[in-house]
């Protein structure tokens, strides 16, 4: 009774860790596991991103269990949603990829969560023909599977998966061992998800604040994010960087909250002095993000917002070195900055502003193409041209009504 009272009064994250520790110690005795093995997984470092977490854990558990694939799926309402997967063979291409989702209640995982099952072994995935996820895993080249729940504070928040290219690869002992290991992995997962949530909420708050002050619409922010994500994916960037570019692209002009209204909201073109003040929004935005990282250093890592800072710092730089604020050129400019530069300028061209009409879609594309090697990275522009069908779809779905009317009038003239 005293133990329960103590647990209820401590920090929620510590609460999670202590409750899991109690079950963990009991299971260690049951399985008679080596202390050095347990200590190894107990001492894995905390990380700030889900991709880093999966790569760190995946490398270790795949090595220990001689598995070829480690993955994670998280429960959201009544859906189970896949995260990125780790492959021992880096040449493996995922077919069951990040974002794949199913109704939890329509899968066997739902029963696992409900019944409190510690682990599940499927010796031959080819016999699970009715399961879409199993069929995809088999197409990837894996034939057997071991699943354990990710349990935090008594609640199943997702599942860890191991897969092997051999049938009958996993034993009952493997199942119990993976479950015991998962009791150390789950609090670390909870930490990672909490940090990502903090960062996401912080970014969303800044975006909302900027929207209140600027004439930019919410659709502008959505379009720039989607254009940027499209280019990042087509360039073959790492999943973590793709996610961060999509997540942080909306922050590109966050420093404008520090620009006076008389300049920010001026209905005409800015004079030289006003333009000099407007350009300070880049430095202001960098300081906002850097100060947040510094003030939160006891919670998040120093590089947690590196992609966001790079986007803010570099999206007004130009490939030929004529941009601002630092006059960077070529690959001195971060790839995330080069991507958002194209997305932001294209959206500015196709959007009505107080001092200009919106350019038609095709004319805006031509301007982007002409600026390859001057304003923009030629490779990013090449990818932009290759993905025009996707760019057009985003533009059509999210364009502002007034911009659409002006474009129609311009095309008729």
Mean pLDDT of the chain: 87
Which domains can be identified in the chain, with CATH numbers? 2-192 (3.30.450.40), 214-412 (1.10.3210.10)
Which residue spans within 123-224 are E strands per DSSP? 144-152, 155-164
The model's pLDDT over 160-197, given as tens digits with 9 standing for 90+, comes to 999 999 999 999 999 999 998 998 899 999 999 999 99
Phi (first) and psi of residue 90, to 5 degrees: -65, -15
| Residue 285 · residue 308 · CB < 8 Å | no
Higher pLDDT, 81 or 266: 81
Q: What is the pLDDT at residue 214? A: 67
How far apart CA 49 and CA 196 sit, in angstroms, is 6
Across 209-216, average pLDDT? 71
Kindly tell me if the per-residue pLDDT of 402 is higher than 70: no
Could you tell me the CA-to-CA distances from 392 to 80, 339, 360, 404 in Å, in that order?
Answer: 31, 17, 12, 13
Across 76-103, average pLDDT? 91
How far apart CA 101 and CA 92 sit, in angstroms, is 21
Phi (first) and psi of residue 191, to 5 degrees: -60, -50
Given pLDDT bands bounded at 50, 70 and 90, which one contains residue 10? very low
Across 208-236, average pLDDT? 86
How far apart CA 245 and CA 239 sit, in angstroms, is 10
Q: What is the pLDDT at residue 179? A: 92
How far apart CA 140 and CA 134 sit, in angstroms, is 10
Could you tell me the CA-to-CA distances from 385 to 34, 161, 227, 279 in Å, in that order?
Answer: 57, 39, 12, 29
Given pLDDT bands bounded at 50, 70 and 90, which one contains residue 123? very high
Across 76-91, average pLDDT? 92
User: DSSP labels for 207-247?
Assistant: HHHHHHHSS--HHHHHHHHHHHHHHHHHTT--HHHHHHHHH
Q: What is the pLDDT at residue 30? A: 53
Q: In sequence order, what are the beta bridge partners of 298?
A: none
Kindly tell me if the per-residue pLDDT of 9 is higher than 90: no
How far apart CA 347 and CA 290 sit, in angstroms, is 27
How far apart CA 56 and CA 46 sit, in angstroms, is 10
Kindly tell me if the per-residue pLDDT of 5 is higher than 80: no
Across 131-136, average pLDDT? 92
Q: What is the pLDDT at residue 6? A: 30
User: DSSP labels for 318-366?
Assistant: -TTS--SSS---GGGS-HHHHHHHHHHHHHHHTS-BTTBPPPPHHHHHH
Kindly tell me if the per-residue pLDDT of 80 is higher than 90: yes
Identify the sign of the CA torsion 9, 12, 18, 23.
positive
Per-residue b or e along 188-201, where b marks 16 or more CB atoms closer than 10 Å to that residue's CB: bbbbbbebbeebee
The model's pLDDT over 23-59, given as tens digits with 9 standing for 90+, comes to 556 655 555 555 666 777 888 888 889 999 999 999 9
Q: Closest by alpha carbon to 395, among 367, 370, 364?
A: 364
Q: Closest by alpha carbon to 149, among 125, 122, 114?
A: 114
Kindly tell me if the per-residue pLDDT of 298 is higher than 50: yes
Point out the least confidently predicted range of 107-121, 293-307, 317-331.
293-307
Kindly tell me if the per-residue pLDDT of 211 is higher than 80: no
Helix (H, G, I), strand (E, B), or coil: what is residue 376?
strand
Given pLDDT bands bounded at 50, 70 and 90, which one contains residue 406? very low
Q: What is the pLDDT at residue 2? A: 30
| Residue 136 · residue 95 · CB < 8 Å | yes
Q: Say what percent of the chain tops pLDDT 90.
A: 66
Kindly tell me if the per-residue pLDDT of 255 is higher than 60: yes
Q: In sequence order, what are the beta bridge partners of 376?
A: 372
The model's pLDDT over 369-386, given as tens digits with 9 standing for 90+, comes to 999 999 999 999 999 999
Name the range with the highest mean pLDDT among 46-50, 260-264, 315-319. Answer: 315-319
| Residue 262 · residue 287 · CB < 8 Å | no
- Sequence-separated (6 or more) residues with CB below 8 Å from residue 255: 280, 281, 282, 283, 284, 285, 286, 287, 288, 312
Q: Closest by alpha carbon to 158, among 82, 97, 50, 102?
A: 82
Q: What is the pLDDT at residue 352? A: 84
Given pLDDT bands bounded at 50, 70 and 90, which one contains residue 410? very low
Q: What is the pLDDT at residue 215? A: 60
């Amino acid at each position: 009774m005293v133990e329960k009272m103590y647990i209820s009064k401590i920090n929620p994250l510590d609460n999670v860790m202590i409750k899991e520790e109690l079950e963990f110690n009991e299971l260690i005795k049951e399985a008679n596991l080596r202390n050095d093995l347990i200590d190894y997984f107990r001492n894995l470092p905390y990380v700030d991103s889900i991709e880093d977490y999966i790569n760190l854990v995946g490398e270790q558990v795949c090595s220990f269990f001689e598995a070829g694939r480690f993955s994670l799926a998280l429960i959201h309402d009544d859906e189970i949603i896949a995260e990125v997967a780790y492959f021992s063979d880096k040449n493996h291409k995922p077919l069951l990829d990040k974002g794949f989702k199913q109704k939890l209640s329509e899968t066997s995982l739902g029963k696992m969560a409900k019944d409190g099952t510690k682990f599940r072994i499927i010796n031959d995935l080819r016999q699970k023909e009715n399961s879409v996820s199993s069929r995809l895993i088999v197409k990837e080249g894996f034939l057997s599977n071991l699943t354990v729940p990710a349990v935090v504070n008594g609640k199943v928040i997702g599942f860890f998966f191991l897969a092997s290219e051999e049938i009958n690869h996993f034993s009952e002992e493997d199942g119990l061992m993976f479950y015991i290991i998962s009791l150390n992995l789950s609090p670390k997962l909870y930490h990672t998800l909490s940090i990502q949530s903090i960062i996401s909420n912080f970014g969303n708050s800044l975006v909302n604040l900027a929207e209140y002050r600027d004439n930019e619409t919410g659709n502008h922010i959505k379009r720039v994010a989607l254009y940027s994500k499209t280019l990042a994916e087509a360039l073959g960037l790492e999943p973590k960087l793709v996610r961060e570019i999509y997540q942080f692209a909306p922050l590109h002009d966050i420093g404008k909250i520090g620009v006076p209204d008389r300049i920010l909201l001026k209905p005409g073109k800015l004079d030289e002095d006003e333009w000099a003040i407007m350009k300070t929004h880049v430095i202001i935005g960098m300081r906002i993000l850097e100060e947040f990282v510094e003030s939160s250093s006891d919670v998040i890592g120093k590089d947690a917002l590196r992609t966001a800072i790079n986007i803010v710092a570099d999206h007004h730089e130009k490939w030929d070195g004529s941009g601002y604020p630092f006059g960077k050129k070529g690959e001195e400019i971060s790839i995330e900055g080069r991507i958002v530069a194209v997305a932001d300028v294209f959206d500015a061209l196709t959007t009505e502003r107080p001092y200009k009409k919106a350019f038609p879609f095709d004319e805006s594309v031509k301007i982007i193409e002409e600026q390859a090697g001057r304003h923009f990275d030629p490779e990013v522009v090449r990818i932009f041209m290759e993905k025009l069908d996707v760019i057009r779809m985003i533009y059509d779905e999210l364009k502002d009504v007034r911009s659409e009317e002006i474009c129609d009038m311009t095309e008729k003239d």
